[in-house]
């Protein structure tokens, strides 16, 4: 499935879009890790939760659970929040 990558993570993928496979969101993110080592830790914390500054959308709806089932035709969008002061 198509995964859109935010600019902050493109140092791993070298592009704004990647292909990944998996039956769940967790599996898709692990597939990305196999293709682009190190990217998983930037999105998922040590407790296997989506990091606070990361939002993941599946077909336009925010995903909150890594066990969410996915289909090969789904589109996953990873968004990294900006902060500053």
Q: Tell me the pLDDT of the chain averaged across its residues.
A: 94
Global pTM reads 0.91
pLDDT tens digits, one per residue of 9-40:
999 999 999 999 999 999 999 999 999 999 99
- Going by the DSSP 8-state scheme, the letter that residue 52 receives in this structure is T
Q: Find where tokens 């990361």 sit.
A: 54
Distance CA 10, CA 28 (A): 17
Q: Determine whether domain 2-80 maps to CATH 3.10.20.30.
A: yes
Q: In 3D, which of 15, 63, 71, 70 has the Cα closest to residue 39?
A: 15
């Amino acid at each position: 499935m198509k995964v859109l990558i935010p600019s902050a993570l493109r140092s791993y993928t070298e592009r704004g879009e990647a292909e990944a496979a998996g039956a769940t969101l967790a599996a898709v993110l692990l597939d990305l890790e196999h293709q682009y080592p190190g990217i998983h830790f930037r999105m998922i914390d040590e407790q296997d939760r989506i990091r606070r500054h990361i939002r993941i959308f599946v077909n336009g709806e925010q995903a909150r659970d890594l066990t969410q089932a996915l289909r090969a035709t789904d589109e996953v969008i990873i968004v990294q929040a900006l902060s500053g002061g």
